[in-house]
Amino acid sequence: MSFGTVFAQATELEWLDLGRGSVLDEDDRISDAVAAMTKLRVLLIQSPTPTTLKTLKDMQAPLTAVDADFFGYNGRCRDPVVVFSPFKESLETMKVASVHFSKPDVRYHRVTSLTAQDCHNVHLLNMVRCFPNLQDLHLEVGQGAVSSEWFIDSQRSQNLEARAQVVWQSLTRLSGNLVCLYTLALCHSVDHLCVASSMLTPADEERLSAVLRDLRGLHSLYLKLKAPDFDTATLDRALAPVKATLAELMLRLEYRGRNYREVPAYTNAMIESLSAFPLHTLRLCIKWYYNGPKGDPMFDSNFNHLSIAEHAMRCIASLRYIYVEIEPTATEFDIESKVEGDGRLVRFLQPLEEQWSLADPDALFSNDFLESWWQVTGS
């Protein structure tokens, strides 16, 4: 049985992954069958061809979610606002890559979640007009688009002027690489920010601080730091704009090199630097990269999940919950007052044998992880 025949009979499909778009070029019956499907709701495609784009225009199904990577399409990016306009009344979730946003005249009123990776421009005004009810936004600027410091500052200046004309009231969760967040220049109060980029270094301090000043009243923040280069003084200056409002913080500390003995002191110093913040939730992930010969254990016996939790409890008076990961295991703790006296203690939220890990760096930046993190933090 040919693929064309299979697709022609698959009239009940609700979810379809076409892989590379060239599959539609192999048999006209495949593209005709996909266009005729009426129950399809989720579509995934990679490297679409002109046949793919024509099929999208002819489709009868009211798609609610799309995942499309336009890399390799005639050597240029595509505008997803135009490509998916046949579904502007039904789409709720859009995940795209290798794109640019240029057309502000198509409205996607039902889209609440947008992920744009390898995005070659960040025009705030256009995006707000196209997605007026967006709640969850993840943006990553393509490396090829960041041609110079002048380009970054020029696009930020344009967005600074544009933000006086728009208000993105619905947006509550924002994530992306630092260059993209800085360029976006979004002046709005969001609940959650995830700086999902490569490890931040002291050179990133100014841009990180600018982003945090833009996002007034930030409640929840996720950062990935290069340790020990990104020291406590740098962190304190960078986080100064949110010192009065930040309640939930996730820090991923990444160490590289042979001197693992500096890790405990640095980690404890980082915790101590947070004493002035009104944190009630702290998530601390410690990752050490070293490919040399095996030697002494990474940490001494006095540096473990419980000791870190107890140190955080002593340093941060407002803290009520802490998650500690020392790869490859993690433990969650609740902090509660003692029955008698004014002291506090930490309480395991799960037995040690049920420890779990988020050691995979990719998992830490995945939408699934972010969704679970935001659910845990109560949003």
Q: Is the pLDDT of residue 165 over 70?
A: yes
Q: For 1-40, how does the pLDDT look when each residue is reduced to its tens digit (9 = 90+)?
A: 577 777 878 888 999 998 876 788 888 888 999 999 999 9
Kindly report which listed range (218-222, 265-269, 293-297, 311-315) carries the lowest average pLDDT score: 293-297
260 vs 192: which has the higher pLDDT: 192
Could you write out the DSSP letters of every residue in 275-343?
A: TTS--SEEEEEEEEE--S---S-SS-TT-SHHHHHHHHHHH-TT--EEEEEETTEEEEEEEEE-SSSS-
Q: Counting every residue, how long is the chain?
A: 379
pLDDT for the residue numbered 22: 74
More confident residue, 232 or 19: 232
pLDDT digits (tens, 9 = 90+) for 243-289: 999 999 999 998 876 667 788 889 999 999 999 999 999 999 998 77
Q: Distances from the Cα of 126 to the Cαs of 80, 156, 162, 175, in angstroms?
A: 12, 14, 9, 18
Domain locations along the chain: 189-379
